[in-house]
Chain A
Amino acid sequence: GQQLNQSPQSMFIQEGEDVSMNCTSSSIFNTWLWYKQDPGEGPVLLIALYKAGELTSNGRLTAQFGITRKDSFLNISASIPSDVGIYFCAGQPLITGGFKTIFGAGTRLFVKA
């Protein structure tokens, strides 16, 4: 089936540093989504992207929908300790009569104060 390759698997950074993570796929997606999961909780949607080339920001977070529709990246600027968690990319291929969401394996972010 369709798969997403998310990298890096984990990141250890200092507070204040910028972070970048990305997802690639061999398939085209109609929608790209970025979620964050805090310990003991379900994923929460951070940013949704609907058009190739789209660049969207949400506070210190910026994400882009790749031109080829096969990739997306998420940047976090000036990281803070509460950014700790697992970040998932997710893609939704174009299907008729509904939708399907495919998740990457996640990027685990550690921020040292």
Chain B
Amino acid sequence: EAQVTQNPRYLITVTGKKLTVTCSQNMNHEYMSWYRQDPGLGLRQIYYSMNVEVTDKGDVPEGYKVSRKEKRNFPLILESPSPNQTSLYFCASSYLGASPSYNEQFFGPGTRLTVL
């Protein structure tokens, strides 16, 4: 089954304790992205990756890191989490083609993070 998986689905942590949220896709997509969803703000892009070893900042990258060492995986790293990073996080992936129809993103189920 074609899918985007995220782990963990739920996480409660404390300020300053490094954490990683994993994301994996089995569709051989080039493009992967992380979003955070906050009430009244919709989804805001944190980081994205066009391919292995190619990453770039989205609209709200502060406090986050990513890596893309393999095509299927795109982990999100919070080196020193703070309470304002409490949010619902989504990973998404897509093909990257010249035609816009290739650029339709598939989303994972989400990771609800609480930073105390």
**Interface, chain A (partner B; CB < 8 A):** 1, 4, 6, 9, 30-31, 33, 40-45, 48, 50, 88, 90, 92, 97-106
User: Across the interface, which residues of B come within 8 angstroms of A43, CB to CB?
Assistant: 43, 90, 107
**Interface, chain B (partner A; CB < 8 A):** 4, 31, 33, 35, 40-45, 48, 50, 58-59, 90, 92, 96, 100-101, 103-110
Q: Which single member of B42, B45, B100, B103 contacts A104 (CB below 8 Å)? A: B42
Residue of B nearest to A106 (CB): B42
The smallest beta-carbon distance between A9 and chain B, in angstroms, is 8
* Residue from B35, B42, B101 having most chain A Cβ neighbours under 10 A: B42
Cα-based distance from A103 to B60 in the complex (angstroms): 13
Q: Which single member of B31, B33, B104, B106 contacts A48 (CB below 8 Å)? A: B104
**Subset of 28 A-B contacts with CB under 8 Å:** A4-B42, A30-B100, A31-B100, A40-B109, A40-B110, A42-B4, A42-B90, A42-B92, A42-B109, A43-B43, A43-B90, A44-B107, A45-B105, A45-B106, A48-B100, A48-B104, A50-B101, A88-B43, A92-B100, A98-B48, A98-B50, A98-B96, A99-B100, A100-B58, A101-B33, A103-B43, A105-B41, A106-B42
